[in-house]
Structure 1
Amino acid sequence: MYKTVDSSRVSISQLMQPSHSNFSGKIHGGYILNLMDQIAFACASKHSGSYCVTASVDTVDFINPIEVGELVTMKASVNYVGSTSMVVGIRVESENIQTSVKKHCNSSYFTMVAKDDDGKPKKVPGLIVNDKNEVKRFLKAIKRMNTKHQRKTEFDSINFSLENYIDQLEGYRVKVELPEH
């Protein structure tokens, strides 16, 4: 079975209140992450027809701060599916409701895994991509996964040798003081 990207799109909007702010008066990033996790769950569950859990979160960059009183809108769609996992792309925008000025605040990718009634990973429907952006998002998800796998393989290998990398630290604000053995 296959489902279109559109069939599982989810959008939520919420007014940011003082209780959501941090000590500097901006909306707390942890609160935004909580909302993002909720919309990722809703989107993935809608696509899979199952309970889903968050497996990982990739690239959370807070681009612009969100102010108290702004309307935050989050849009989520399934960008990629594996056999039991889905990558949900989320875009976060805020809007000053007095001036109508909108800001892009964050984009992120949540990997969600569908679970059956026994808590075991469950196969998810395939994805029908029907426009250029959807194809591009699917390809970008593959690229992010391959890069992550390559980095893990490179640095977690038993053959990893610090001597092969130490010169790459030149020019960075790091001082290497390793004990001699």
Structure 2
Amino acid sequence: MEVKKVSQSRSVTSSHVLPTDTNNHGTLFGGKLMMYIDDIAAVAATRHARQLVVTASTDSVDFIHPINAGSAVCLEAFVTYTKRTSMEVFVKVTGEDLISGEKKLCTTSFLTFVAIDEEGKPSPVPQVVPESEEEKWLYETAPKRFEHRKLRRRERREFHEVLTLKSPWED
């Protein structure tokens, strides 16, 4: 299978934050931002795999700076690391005051995507090769994040075994 550079998956988009995109504080809805993050990450993962992909997980999204109505939300995503069928995608979100030009890093997130074939089964993906210093650092630190996700998945399975599917309104 071919090897691809990180730059081949890089995806960038911006969107004007309109009043309908905001909460009662006049800042971008967190859920709307999470939708943007998942969307741009899916574009990057699909560019890398050149096949269908599904979101397997999203690491924490910590909202560091709000993005106000009238500003632009700018997102950049790229594949940082791959396993056999999965890809780690890094997303960086910047808010830009379109009048002053001031930009602030608002959040970053890592998502995991799995490539799937026509039958919905996991499918192999190309390895990724980092080039820039930032890409190399993200690549080198990815195995630690991968192990953390594995542990989190195991803990979540244990948690789910304890949960009941019985409705609280049932006797």
Shift of 1:132: 2.5
The one-letter code matched in structure 2 to 1:27 is L
In structure 1, the partner of 2:3 is 2
TM-score by length of 1: 0.81
In structure 2, the partner of 1:66 is 67
Shift of 1:74: 0.2
1:5-154 equivalences in 2 (<5 Å)? 5-150=6-151
2 CA distance for matches of 1:99 and 1:137? 31
SS in 2 for 1:116: coil
Shift of 1:147: 2.7
User: Could you say if the C-alpha distance between residues 96 and 110 of structure 1 is closer, same or farther in structure 2, counting changes exceeding 3 Å?
Assistant: same
The one-letter code matched in structure 2 to 1:131 is S
CA offsets, 1:76-134, max 9 Å, x none? 01011111110100000011011111111110001011111111111001111223321
Let me know the Cα RMSD of the aligned residues. 1.7
User: Could you say if the C-alpha distance between residues 81 and 25 of structure 1 is closer, same or farther in structure 2, counting changes exceeding 3 Å?
Assistant: same
SS in 2 for 1:104: strand
1 CA distance for matches of 2:106 and 2:147? 26
- Identical counterparts, % of pairs: 36
2 CA distance for matches of 1:74 and 1:151? 26
SS in 1 for 2:39: helix
Shift of 1:148: 3.4
User: Could you say if the C-alpha distance between residues 152 and 46 of structure 1 is closer, same or farther in structure 2, counting changes exceeding 3 Å?
Assistant: closer
Give ranges in structure 1 of 5+ residues lacking alignment: 158-181
TM-score by length of 2: 0.86
SS in 2 for 1:124: coil
The one-letter code matched in structure 2 to 1:128 is V
1 CA distance for matches of 2:122 and 2:4? 19
The one-letter code matched in structure 2 to 1:37 is D
**Residues paired across the two proteins, number:** 157
User: Could you say if the C-alpha distance between residues 26 and 50 of structure 1 is closer, same or farther in structure 2, counting changes exceeding 3 Å?
Assistant: same
